[in-house]
Amino acid sequence: MHRTKVKVAEDALDANTTIAEANRHDFDHAGVRVVNLMSAPGAGKTTLLEAAIPEVDARVGVLEGDVQGSMDADRIAHLHVPVVQLNTDAGFGGECHLDANMVRSALPGFELDDIDLLVIENVGNLVCPAEFRVGEDARAMICSVAEGEDKPLKYPLMFRACELVVVNKIDLLPHLEYDLEKLRHNLESVNPGAEVIECSARTGEGTRAFADWLSTVAAREAAAV
């Protein structure tokens, strides 16, 4: 049997990147900036959005990604902002991340002309979401103090993918043996340029800084596609 070697030299996630670029083109065309918000499950993505969105100086829409259920979208809907729930459980056991194509499938649920900023709340997971661009302008993540200071060293792919790291649940610090200095040190070694916001979505401490950051992203110029 004759065998032939074929040179490919192509990124194996190229198909996703192509769709992410198409999403980006549509967002830019509508003047919408997009934030991809990621974290481990239970770090407080939805609670932080509930606290911050009313303070954002832009018209915000939210795309909720979850394996199953619409609990998060129902909570965001109370803020009277456009929200679409995307469930990933159609696949094999439920996809653990959003990819560009899933985000694309949800876009008809939004009137993009009516929003300035789309926050995509990714599926809770510190690994896969970092691999899949969805057409976002900025990537941010939350790590809560309940997770341990060593997480940047264990998940460098995720921590390096983000320009902002929100340290949430600082109201719990008196109850934990958590060393914020150690976290800052670990972050500094994995992603030295990252911006850091410390907050408690529960008490509201520091959430204004996150709202301000979202406002800043909403005001950014579209990057050349």
Partner 1 sequence: MHELSLATGIVETVVKHAEGRRVTSVEMRIGTLRQVVPASLEFYFGICSRDTVCQGATLQQEIIQARVGCRSCGEEWELYEPDFRCRSCADTEVEVIAGTEFEVDSIEVTEESAIDQEEAGCIAPR
Task: Give the residue, chosen from 39, 191, 200, 207, that forms a contact with partner 1 under the rule CB under 8 A.
Answer: 191
Is 33 in contact with 215 (CB distance < 8 Å)? no
Residues 98, 88 contacting (CB under 8 angstroms): yes
Element (H, E) at 120: strand 117-121
Helix (H) or strand (E) holding 79: none
Residue choice 1, 90, 223, 224 for contact with partner 1 (CB under 8 A): 1
What x-and-dash track marks residues 24-63 binding partner 1 by CB under 8 A? ----------------------------------------
90 scored as a contact of partner 1 (CB under 8 A): no
Binding residues among 129-148 for partner 1 as defined by CB under 8 A: 131-132
Per-residue 3-state assignment (H helix, E strand, C coil) for 121-173:
ECCCCCCHHHHCCCCCCEEEEEEEHHHCCCHHHHCHHHHHHCCEEEEECHHHH
Q: Which is nearer to partner 1, 110 or 159 (CB)?
A: 159
Site string for partner 1, 143-172 (x = CB under 8 A): ---------xx--xx--x------------
Nearer to partner 1 by Cβ, of 54 and 94: the residue is: 94
Does position 12 interact with partner 1 (CB under 8 A)? The reply is yes
Handedness of CA 216, 57, 120, 155 (dihedral sign): positive
Residue with tokens 């926050």: 119
| Cα–Cα distances in angstroms (integers) from residue 20 to residues 27, 69, 84, 133, 224, in the given order | 10, 25, 18, 6, 14
| 22 contributes a contact to partner 1 by CB under 8 A | no
Residue from 24, 33, 45, 97 in contact with partner 1 (CB under 8 A): 97
Unique residue bearing structure tokens 């997971």: 125
Scanning 61-69, 95-103, 167-175, 212-220 for contacts with partner 1 by CB under 8 A, the matching segment is 95-103
Q: Is there binding between residue 4 and partner 1 (CB under 8 A)?
A: yes
CB of 172 to partner 1, least distance (A): 26
CB atoms within 10 A of CB 19: 20
Of 60, 100, 190, 197, the one binding partner 1 (CB under 8 A) is: 190
Residues at the contact surface with partner 1, assessed by CB under 8 A: 1-16, 92, 95-97, 99, 127-128, 131-132, 152-153, 156-157, 160, 188-193
